[in-house]
């Protein structure tokens, strides 16, 4: 992948370093985004895993909530993992009181759907959009997608049908953490979308 992609990582909280390592390894020019002016300079954005309610509060405190909503609405390619998926969802269940999302992805997401940290798990998923072999997916206090809107494509589901990866327009969301185990194909997908803008 070409190094002319400037990919931002929302660097308020969460596993920023892991995403930066994957993107740099793919040749992206990585920008850590903490201010609106940094957001304006990128061709794509990753919203990492972490704690979605904290991320929401910090985005508002740093004056990033509305700029993020604006770039999402304007078509900036964005990839959200775990808490990032929660941030991109139009609707949440089990949100804490007052929690807001950025929205843009016509899905309903349930926070911490698989239970606490001790109930984290790993599994292999077929994801036709990124090709073979299966994706080894790491789920840590993961959300799940309860409802998928008509304009959103399901990219992956668990054997019981639980949706854990989606794509809608310029937005990709996964319940799991590909950056944790060297899986690069979702980041490649984001970079490809960024280069086609």
Measured from the Cβ of residue 191, the count of other Cβ atoms closer than 10 Å reads: 25
Q: What is the reported pLDDT for 1?
A: 40
Average pLDDT, the chain: 93
The backbone torsions φ and ψ at residue 5, rounded to the nearest 5 degrees and listed phi first, read -85, 120
pLDDT band at 2 (very low <50, low <70, confident <90, very high): very low
* Predicted pLDDT of residue 86: 97
**Is it the case that residue 191 has pLDDT exceeding 90?**
yes
- The DSSP element (H or E) to which 172 belongs, if any, is strand 171-174
Q: 69 and 180 in contact (C-beta within 8 Å)?
A: no
Contact at 8 Å (CB) between 137 and 97? no
Chain position carrying tokens 């993992």: 81
**Confidence band of 140 (pLDDT split at 50, 70, 90):** confident
CA–CA dist 64, 187 (Å, integer): 23
Q: What is the pLDDT of residue 17?
A: 95
Q: Which residues are catalytic?
A: 82, 177, 179
The model scores a pTM over 0.85: yes
Give the tokens for residue 64.
């990033």
Domains in the chain, CATH or no CATH each: 6-196 (3.40.50.880)
């Amino acid at each position: 992948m070409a190094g002319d992609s400037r990919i931002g990582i929302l660097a308020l909280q969460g596993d920023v370093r892991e995403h930066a390592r994957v993107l740099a390894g793919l040749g992206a020019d990585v920008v850590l985004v903490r201010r609106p002016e940094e957001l304006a300079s990128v061709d794509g954005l990753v919203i990492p895993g972490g704690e979605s309610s904290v991320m929401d509060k910090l985005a508002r405190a740093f004056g990033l909530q509305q700029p993020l909503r604006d770039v999402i609405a304007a078509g900036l390619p964005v990839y959200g993992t775990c808490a990032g998926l929660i941030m991109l969802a139009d609707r949440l269940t089990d949100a804490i009181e007052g929690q807001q999302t950025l929205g843009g992805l016509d899905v309903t997401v349930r926070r911490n759907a698989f239970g606490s940290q001790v109930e984290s798990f790993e599994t292999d998923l077929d994801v036709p959009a990124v090709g073979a072999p299966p994706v080894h997916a790491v789920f840590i206090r993961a959300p799940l997608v309860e409802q998928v809107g008509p304009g959103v494509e399901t990219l992956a589901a668990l054997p019981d049908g639980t949706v854990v990866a989606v794509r809608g327009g310029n937005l990709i969301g996964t319940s799991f953490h590909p950056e944790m185990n060297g899986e690069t194909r979702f980041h490649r997908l984001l970079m490809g979308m960024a280069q086609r803008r």
